[in-house]
Amino acid sequence: MTASEPITASESAAVFLMLLGEDEAAALLARLGPDELQRVGTAMVRLGEVEPARIAQAISGFVAEADNAALPAQGREQQLDALLRRAVGPVKGDSLMQRIVPEAKPRAVEIARWLAPEVLAGLIGAEHPQVIAVLLLMLDSEAAAQVLAALPDPVQPAVVERVARLEKVTGEAVTLLDTILSAQIEDRFGAAALAMGGAREAANLINLAGGQVGRTVMPEIERRDSPLAKAIEAEMLTFEMLFMLDAQSMGRLLRDVDNVHLVTALKGLEEADRAPFFAAMSSRAADGVRDEIDMLSKVKRQDVLAAQKAMIEVARRLRDEGEIALGAGDGEFV
């Protein structure tokens, strides 16, 4: 592309994008519509070699456009907060915002999203239906529905009516909601931080991530803090993971499991969940276990959990000995 050729808006945009890093360019492209993406993408492919003079021309075009535009001051703090959260994560973003704007605090609505629906309903159930409606609209649909169901019956119609009538939520309404929630949360839980995280949360992250994450993360945690690694591992090995054992591994497990533990553990399961265990047995053995389950009277939930835990311990030992493959993703972690 030579300096004598006129440059179009799409070509200017293409040149500008090529001057950015991949992440920055991708972030800008994500804001474009399908037609705009096609035009800019086509221009980028067709440009060929771009001379320095054309690069300057493209940039000057953006400068000229900027001269005719204004950046509104309203919402600047919210914009910065969103950018910082995306750049460094919510925790570091909040910390930076409090340094930049000392009076800026995390909204109580964000904390409310971590609360159980029943707890949240208890906090705001006595508030005006309009306030409750605003909160429901700021929650995920499923969580909002659970909060609504937990509200007193007389309150529910008024809340739903206001949800239906609301078209826009003003900044003043959000501020009011935040003030009310902040007071309620502090009154209910005190000023102490909400308990979050822990070995179970870490284990859930690894289970959901799957793949190589466990193999990468767990040995490193074991090297740094062996007790912590064992606590996470204990949470990772859930009884439900036994459902996914192949027939050979399941058969090996059942050979070492106490029959009383097996019957008690399966008593607490639905028939469909018992299938993987029965599939690894002979027909005669499976029928025998079914008869024992049927003859067993009602069992306390804690006894079922204890029996399942005993089976998990056997599975853990067999896994450590290399007898079976057990864990999140596609195999062992260590």
> Which residue shows structure tokens 């939930």?
301
In terms of average pLDDT, the best of 17-21, 157-161, 214-218 is 157-161
Banded model confidence at residue 190, pLDDT cuts 50, 70, 90? low
Higher pLDDT, 59 or 73: 59
Residue 152 tokens, joined: 């007193």
Residue 28 tokens, joined: 């800008």
- Model's pTM, two decimal places? 0.37
Among residues of the chain, what percentage have pLDDT more than 70?
74
Q: What is the pLDDT of residue 24?
A: 73
Which residues contact residue 105 at a Cβ distance below 8 angstroms, ignoring those fewer than 6 apart?
A: 98
First-to-last alpha carbon distance for the chain, in angstroms, is: 56
Amino acid at the residue 63: V
- Taking alpha carbons only, the member of 127, 125, 130 closest to residue 150 is 125
Q: How far apart are CA 77 and CA 310, in angstroms?
A: 54
Q: Assign 3-class secondary structure to 257-318.
A: CCHHHHHHHHHCCCHHHHHHHHHCCCHHHHHHHHHHHHHCCCCCHHHHHHHHHHHHHHHHHH
Residue ranges of domains in the chain, CATH in brackets: 9-67 (no CATH), 76-106 (no CATH), 108-189 (1.10.220.30), 237-320 (1.10.220.30)
Amino acid at the residue 248: Q
Q: What is the pLDDT of residue 263?
A: 93
> CB of 325 within 8 A of CB of 249?
yes
- 3-state DSSP assignment of residue 177: helix
- Is the pLDDT confidence value at 288 over 70? yes
Mean pLDDT of the chain: 77
In terms of average pLDDT, the best of 79-88, 117-126, 165-174 is 117-126
Higher pLDDT, 25 or 309: 309
Q: What is the pLDDT of residue 98?
A: 59
Average the pLDDT over each of 89-98, 166-175, 218-227 and give the range with the smallest value.
Answer: 89-98
| Nearest-5° Cα angle at 275, 269 to 281 | 115
Amino acid at the residue 239: F
pLDDT in tens, 134-176: 888 878 777 788 888 888 888 888 888 888 888 777 777 777 8
